Structure 1
């Protein structure tokens, strides 16, 4: 058989042209591969989870492209204006917390925030954090002065949330896991009141249940049932903590199985992944080894409703050598691996 080329002369490329074409293709492939490995080196957790989120279900849920709201008043945005190294934090949606700082203005403050999210056609996420004896006098101590003040505050928040079915509400981080650890008054009664008031709004409410290393699944389910988790969307996990997404999903599923034993089915959950990129930390307070987690995203169709940034990365935990409040550059740079 002849080894002569069969292409017509006018279309047959010469050897130099073929070599150049192959070289260009090889170069392009190398650039892409290099970029992927650089991205993995900078942010391995983000690469792994973005691929998983796009190709597989998590707890029966698939990711959706519904945007989460970026509050223009975030402290990280102001910090990024001075130092662009903080851009990655500043450009990521995060929950807005309401507590003592909104004691008399919570209705208006939440209303303005929700209006901003509606104008941006994005899903807002908020944290209600003002139960009496909050944090039992530790670093995040504070809260309403008494039960009546708390109930009035919750009612005002519920009025602002009325009809906002798209809103995500995280109710009182640590309050249920901390039950009975200090003089708290009728904490169960206050949480039950909050759940009842918020359940009428239409918002997606998640009662905080701590994390995998706090309560056993059976105890978490027992406490959630007591305060009425069956009346709202479900529960939240890992708020302001560092446990991995996978292990928290597994814990959430165990809690759900325990809830089913109590006759409660269909409770969904959300997980805070803002600072879990390096996994569990020995110290929970501004730990230097912590890293940002993957980008937040909403999920639908199964048990998981969202992987969110609930605790704002870069804002101090109030201890561990940091200031009591505010965006703290050293801890933010640590989360960025800088």
Structure 2
């Protein structure tokens, strides 16, 4: 159950203030005329959207579909993450520095996603990454230099721990023994690479660092926690959940609580294998938590949640229709989720964020068929990270909460 990733887009500023301040004080409050400055939210940075979003909105406007056009523009203006990948150290240092400085001028906090680990995505839909540990260490160091003493939320390597080299398909290797040795070596390197990145970024004075933990429909808690430990979560603020996926807010909150509790239990000498997982009955899991892990949010690892596309929850594929339904890959009938905010109402959930850029494709989904069309959509899906107009419009139409304006009060065309 992998997640495909967006390609890098250069960020320029737009801002949106969302919610009230969290205990973390991630950024200076940016009060509006209707806010109490003493309780205004951390403002989250809105990079310039994919230009294709505005082109599509203009086309909808010309086609006399103003509500959909307005909804698409609202989606484009909403704060979302900037993905850093595929650049030289000098390039990523300069881009990162430009982003954090621009965010600081606007009194906002950017969300940055590192996505350049060697062997990324098992060389599948979102293949890429640097060649080796030496290159990766230099690249991460350049990101850290770019951030400096600025405020930032940093998500470290989506899927890198949930999909380690040992999990990758073995292919058609002639020497299985040599292949297995290589996979073991590459997996050990992966843990070291992520842990080193977390340590480097976690040492920054005002960065909050979250190492990715996948989503509730992928690894169970007792499976992902040892990976997080090996990936250096002890040096991080916490972890991220549901990046580029569709799990509900309720499922994500419970998954995050269980992971945080299990990390606390393991930190005191317990075994992850004893921790309750998301598959347990809720009442049984809660009894275990009450007995073994006192709820103390100030002494537990926190998390951030990707709510960019989970407004309708996960897609349930038609039973028996596909050999590999790829329910993570451009599923039909999904909607935007909760708006980004640092006021989540959950003492462990530091922020709801739009980490995946909504409207960008997950890849050319074939669902186990010969293709080339996505059999669920009847079209050839764009490559990962490319704007997907059909999906973008679905996300706007089915957003929960709604993002399209009421018909009797349409906003202007401003970007």
Q: Shorter-chain TM-score: what band? A: 0.7 to 0.9
RMSD between aligned residues: 2.2
1:329 matches 2:373: no
SS at match of 1:140: coil
Unaligned runs of 5+ in 2: 1-18, 21-38, 60-68, 169-182, 269-298, 318-326, 366-379, 399-415
1:171 matches 2:156: yes
Corresponding position of 1:71: 47
How far off its partner does 1:263 sit?
A: 1.7
Corresponding position of 1:270: 304
Segments of 4+ moved more than 4 angstroms = 101-104
Contact map agreement 1:102 1:109 (CA 8 A) in 2: no
Equivalents in 2 of 1:197, 1:251: separation in Å?
Answer: 27
The one-character-per-residue Cα deviations of 1:238-269 (angstroms, maximum 9, x if unpaired) are 00000001111001111111111112742000
The one-character-per-residue Cα deviations of 1:206-257 (angstroms, maximum 9, x if unpaired) are 0000011111112222211222212111000000000001111001111111
How far off its partner does 1:110 sit?
A: 0.6
1:317 matches 2:362: yes
Per mean C-alpha deviation after superposition, the further-off stretch among 68-77 and 287-296 is: 68-77
Contact map agreement 1:71 1:93 (CA 8 A) in 2: yes
Distance 1:316-1:197 versus aligned 2 partners, 3 A rule:
same
How far off its partner does 1:89 sit?
A: 1.0
Contact map agreement 1:77 1:91 (CA 8 A) in 2: no
Contact map agreement 2:89 2:142 (CA 8 A) in 1: no
Relative to its length, the structure with more helix (as a share) is 1
Corresponding position of 2:374: none
How far off its partner does 1:104 sit?
A: 4.8
TM-score w.r.t. length of structure 2:
0.63
Q: Could you say which structure has the greater relative contact order, defined with CA pairs below 8 angstroms and 6 or more residues apart?
A: 2
Contact map agreement 1:76 1:90 (CA 8 A) in 2: no
The equivalent position to 2:109 in structure 1, one of 110, 120, 123, is 123
Equivalents in 1 of 2:88, 2:314: separation in Å?
Answer: 32
The one-character-per-residue Cα deviations of 1:254-296 (angstroms, maximum 9, x if unpaired) are 1111111112742000000000011012421111211111211
1:160 matches 2:146: yes
Contact map agreement 1:76 1:314 (CA 8 A) in 2: no
> Structure 2 matches for 1:183-198, cutoff 5 A?
183=183, 184=186, 186-198=189-201
Larger radius of gyration: 1
Corresponding position of 2:135: 149
TM-score w.r.t. length of structure 1:
0.77
Corresponding position of 1:299: 343
1:290 matches 2:334: yes
The one-character-per-residue Cα deviations of 1:33-78 (angstroms, maximum 9, x if unpaired) are xxxxxxxxxxxxxxxxxxxx89xxxxxxxx9622111113544654
> Structure 2 matches for 1:75-154, cutoff 5 A?
75=51, 78-79=54-55, 82-83=58-59, 84-85=69-70, 86-101=72-87, 104-154=90-140
SS at match of 2:309: coil
Unaligned runs of 5+ in 1: 1-52, 55-62
Name the count of aligned residue pairs: 278
Equivalents in 1 of 2:54, 2:262: separation in Å?
Answer: 44
Contact map agreement 2:90 2:142 (CA 8 A) in 1: no
